Amino acid sequence: MVYPFPILHRPRLGARIVTRSYVRRYIKGLYHEMNDWIEINRLRCSQLLLYSTMYAEDYMTQFLDDLLVAIYRNIIDKENVIIYDNVSLTVKLLGRYCKPLGYQELLISAIRNEVAAFYSFTQNGATKTFGLLFYGAIELMPTTVDICYKVEGIMNDFIKAVDEILLDGLDIDLAGYLMDTLDVMVEGLLKKKAEGLDDIHRFTAPYLRPILIMAIRCLGVFYAFKINGKEDPENITKSKAKVFRVMDALTELSEHPEENYFKAQLPSIMTEYFSSLNMGQLGTFAVQSDKWRLYYALFELMTPELLRIEVTPTDPSNPIYRRAPKPEPINHDYTPGDWDDYHDRGPNLGRGPTPTEEKSIEAPATEEPATQEPATEKKTTEEPATEEPTKDKEIRFRDVEDEGEDLDELPVVCTLTDEEKKKIDEFKQENKERRVKE
């Protein structure tokens, strides 16, 4: 265990008890001083908080609800290196002395942006804080003790929160803080493996693949500058180096350190994220979407050897081009007599009306040559009559196209006798029966 200068070993019991009796009196004032705009005040506050944590140890658990929120803002501020180092070491000491159950709910809720969400730094700061707390939690564990009983619960909640909340909304800043966390976590796990911790592989086995996915997704975000043809800034270059360092550490933590872990997981990753997509979904990828970033990062990591790896689709008998959505067949046949569907030519074209929906054509009630309301039926291709209804009576036609009617011409019969009207009705009935049979 390494303590900050000038402390060389754990403080004596009497000093720790005296500090605990006084820390409650000034701890709330530290919350405000840590966010002061005067840099020297924040520097002194960070030093006081560091040594108070060193002496109070697990007594600080009762102050974590407000203390963590104050830490989130300073943990992502690297303008003053001394302040950053003091706050980082303070967080490691909190993870070392406080049980994970004391801060698990507070930290995971902040990562999900459910606690103190009105601050812009809460989610980023909580993401970076998790790695330091995790490092401190496993730092002093004996090699003969099972690591799962202490950090398995908070590790599961962290993986779930990142997968559900962070990965789909990664930006450059958040991806950088997530990589800082992953880098510190794998560093602590490698340290415990070097010390000979029992069952380290059993603990890390379920988390290696999610950590690999997080690293690749972050790398896809860092490639945004390269996609746009720009040179990577210094912080992006450092973050990329952390990605490759984490991937190498995953190989050492796996059950088969002699085999590259990324190479072993690549076929399953490609199958999980891309082989089940159809052509329509593949065409909707935007250049800066999360799926496109993952796709770009994977192929940037591939070597000529990895490009020859066979990726088995979800269903080999049903490849991607066969899973493309097919248009529904539409019947464009037109049957004469589709009276009611004449103006609805989209979905109902070719269906035609039912016989019960047809309306009979009635002769005008009056004999005056008044304007008759046109019938709602459409004129068929056949002639309206095959025989002359009358020889000595004149039938005249008028054009009603300009009057808003759908029919070009409408016969108007004037001064017909009862016998002539009867013949016309019989002809209409025969014509209607013939259309129904057709």
Q: What is the mean pLDDT of residues 186-210?
A: 87
Convert the pLDDT of each residue in 75-131 to its tens digit.
998 888 999 999 999 999 999 999 999 999 999 999 998 888 788 889 999 999 999
- The DSSP code sequence of 212-275 is HHHHHHHHHHHTHHHHTT-PPPHHHHHHHHHHHHHHHHHHHHSS-TTS-HHHHHHHHHHIIIII
Residues 6+ apart with CB under 8 A from 201: 253, 254, 255
Same domain? For 215 and 276 the reply is yes
Same domain? For 189 and 278 the reply is yes
User: Given this model, what pLDDT does residue 55 score?
Assistant: 93
Give the percent of the chain with pLDDT over 90. Answer: 34
Domain assignment of residue 136, yes or no: yes
Convert the pLDDT of each residue in 262-296 to its tens digit.
888 888 888 887 776 655 555 566 556 777 788 78
Q: How far is CA 289 from the centre of its chain?
A: 10
Domain assignment of residue 73, yes or no: no
**Residue of 363 and 219 predicted with greater confidence:** 219
CA dihedral 397, 403, 407, 411 (to 10 degrees): -20
Least confident of 20-24, 247-251, 333-337, 406-410: 406-410
Where in the sequence is the domain holding 205, given as residue range(s)?
Answer: 99-322
> How far apart are alpha carbons 382 and 141 in whole angstroms?
97
**Residue of 16 and 336 predicted with greater confidence:** 16
User: Given this model, what pLDDT does residue 156 score?
Assistant: 92
Q: Note the maximum CA span of the chain.
A: 133
State the average pLDDT for the chain: 77
Phi/psi for 393 (5° steps) reads -105, 145
Report residue 178 as tokens: 């997530």
Same domain? For 299 and 421 the reply is no
Domain assignment of residue 333, yes or no: no
Domain assignment of residue 103, yes or no: yes
Same domain? For 203 and 274 the reply is yes
Domain assignment of residue 71, yes or no: no
> How far apart are alpha carbons 438 and 421 in whole angstroms?
26
Structural domains of the chain, count? 2
Domain assignment of residue 401, yes or no: yes
Domain assignment of residue 53, yes or no: no
Q: Is the pLDDT of residue 356 over 60?
A: no
Quickly tell me which residue has 């940037």 as its tokens.
Answer: 300
> How far apart are alpha carbons 279 and 275 in whole angstroms?
10
Same domain? For 285 and 139 the reply is yes
Q: 144 pLDDT band (50/70/90 cuts)?
A: confident
Among residues 264, 290, 322, the one where a domain terminates is: 322
Among residues 289, 322, 355, the one where a domain terminates is: 322
User: Given this model, what pLDDT does residue 347 score?
Assistant: 47
Q: Is the pLDDT of residue 188 over 60?
A: yes
Convert the pLDDT of each residue in 382-416 to its tens digit.
554 455 544 444 545 454 444 444 444 445 545 67
Q: What is the mean pLDDT of residues 323-346?
A: 50
122-139 and 148-161 helices cross at what angle (nearest 10)?
160
